[in-house]
Chain A
Amino acid sequence: MMATVDIEIPTPARERKRNLLDFADWSVAEVQALFETADVMAQVLTRTIKKVPALQGFTVGTLFFEDSTRTRLSFERAARAQSADVISFAAGGSSLSKGESLKDTLQTIDQMQADLYVVRHPAAGAPSQIARWTDAAIVNAGDGRRAHPTQALLDAYTFRQRFPGFDDFRGKRLAIVGDVMHSRVARSNVELWRKLGGEVVLCGPPTLLPPQVAPGVHRSHRLAEALEGAHAVMTLRLQHERMASSLLPSLAEYVARYQLTERALAGAHPEALVMHPGPLNRDVEIATEIADGPRSVIHAQVANGVPVRMAVLYTLLVGKR
């Protein structure tokens, strides 16, 4: 290291605070830097001692107002692998069910003095609201149908890692198939993929696609057309409650038209990757042969969740110190 002179710059925590709510205030260069940091974190996870002291002394709070197992586990692993302490709050059985308001709950939890909260909430915008009530940094782990930025980051990271001869996202096409309308994963992926310069095609029955889409995003109701030349194909879980609300005529018809099969993938890029944010319903939105096939990176997505979330926590917390 080149010697540097220590200069104390007293900056209040509030001003240094950085959140990850969505990608609105993240530049392409900052996202690329996150990916590069994730590469280093991935390397840490391959060592005998899968832990670094980078976040020693920091406390990460997970606030889950909605059920989640894999996302919460992934964040906790990411925090502990950097020696941060973790405190967990789950809405089930908490004071929320006793009528306490979100603000009162947050202010009570905030007395535990966490430096960063990972927030999942069924209401869109709840993490942004919480960010206004605390000095801690906020990472959105899914709010309603609005955003799930770390899922989009790990998806893009997986693509960057696994697509043969990958250089950058420009000219790369992502097809998202299924219930796009109700999916925060889809929304965040569209936002990030577009930001990085890629193209996005949304595919599903008219009742499950948003009526309006951003510039550079295409819509299609025909699977073969949507997958034409796609470099990555992401299928979303079909949420069965949508059937009851008559958004779909029948499961059999949906499977016939939108299930990801070898035949449907024929028109995609020969090296196209198949992704799924999980949990997956085999032989509904995706054929088992595809889910377990050579193009599938579903397990890599889960594995990459840890280094990507490590990079997010590190960047937000160390930037704050």
Chain B
Amino acid sequence: MKLKSRLMTGEEMSRALRRIAHEIIERNKGANGLALVGVHTRGVPLAERLAGLVEEFEGVRPVVGKLDITLYRDDLTEIALQPVVKRTEVPFDVHGKSIVLCDDVLYTGRTARAALDALVDMGRPAVIQYAVLVDRGHRELPIRADYVGKNVPTSRAEVVKVKLVPVDDEDGVELHEVDG
């Protein structure tokens, strides 16, 4: 896999996240009853980051949850002899909450579909919205994001790689090409 281009620097990512945080506050008329749920792996630091920004702008920190959607997937792209399932930690009642589902890349929409199933199994949120850092197209399901950091037209042979502290050692978004 080789690097084709840098789609976002750490600074650009930071600006996009600040904008998304403002949009979330505007759309939900504040931060009351707001919950951010990150999808493992990189949706989790994204949700944390957005929660911090909402707190900075509104003085109220939304509750944050982590969602592992492995048990809800229909594609199981990572076929391994020993599949790894991570913990889901949603330490609040989702009932009646305004939930913003956070993920790094929106691609086929299958992860979002699985995440929606996982969330509604926990209760009945008032509303579920969807925030992504990068929308790269190629949807296979009728799913769209409410908040998008950057729209990036890609080919299927490309891989969008999001790097987020603390999962990675720096912030940034890169476009890679699969060899051959």
Q: What residues make up the interface of A, taking CB atoms closer than 8 Å to B?
A: 1-6, 9, 16, 18, 30, 33, 36-37, 39-40, 43-44, 47-49, 51-54, 82, 314-315, 318-319, 321
> A33: which B residues are within 8 A, CB to CB?
82, 84
Known: A40-B87, A47-B121. Is A52-B75 also a contact (CB below 8 A)?
no
A321 and B111 in contact, given A1-B103, A5-B178 (Cβ under 8 angstroms): no
Closest 6 A-B residue pairs measured CB to CB?
Answer: A54-B71, A52-B71, A319-B81, A3-B105, A49-B121, A3-B107
**Would B105 and A47 count as touching, CB distance under 8 A?**
no
DSSP majority for the A interface?
A: loop
Q: Are B159 and A4 in contact, with the CB atoms below 8 A?
A: yes
Q: Are A5 and B157 in contact (CB under 8 A)?
A: yes
Chain B residues near A1: list those with CB within 8 A: 39-43, 69, 103-105, 111
Q: List chain B residues, Cβ under 8 A from A18.
A: 81
User: Which chain B residues lie closer than 8 Å to A314 at the CB level?
Assistant: 71, 83, 85
Interface residues of B (CB under 8 A from A): 39-43, 68-72, 75-88, 103-105, 107, 111, 117-118, 121-123, 136, 156-157, 159-162, 178
Name the residue of chain A whose CB is nearest to the CB of B160. Answer: A3
Contacting pair A48 B123 (CB below 8 A) = yes
**B86 and A2 contact, CB distance less than 8 A:** no
Question: A5 near B156 (CB under 8 angstroms)?
Answer: yes
Question: Is the pair B121, A3 in contact by a Cβ cutoff of 8 Å?
Answer: no
Q: In the complex, A47→B67 CA distance in Å? A: 14
**Known A315-B83, A321-B76: A2·B88 in contact at CB below 8 Å:** no
**12 pairs of residues in contact across A and B, judged by CB atoms under 8 Å:** A2-B42, A2-B105, A4-B77, A4-B159, A18-B81, A33-B84, A36-B84, A40-B68, A40-B86, A315-B83, A318-B83, A319-B83
Q: Chain A residues with Cβ under 8 A from B157's Cβ?
A: 5
Q: Inside 8 A of A53's CB, which chain B residues have their CB?
A: 71-72, 117
Report B-chain residues with C-beta under 8 Å of the C-beta of A318.
76, 83
A52 and B121 form a contact (CB under 8 A)? yes
The answer to whether A321 touches B79, judged by C-beta atoms less than 8 angstroms apart, is yes
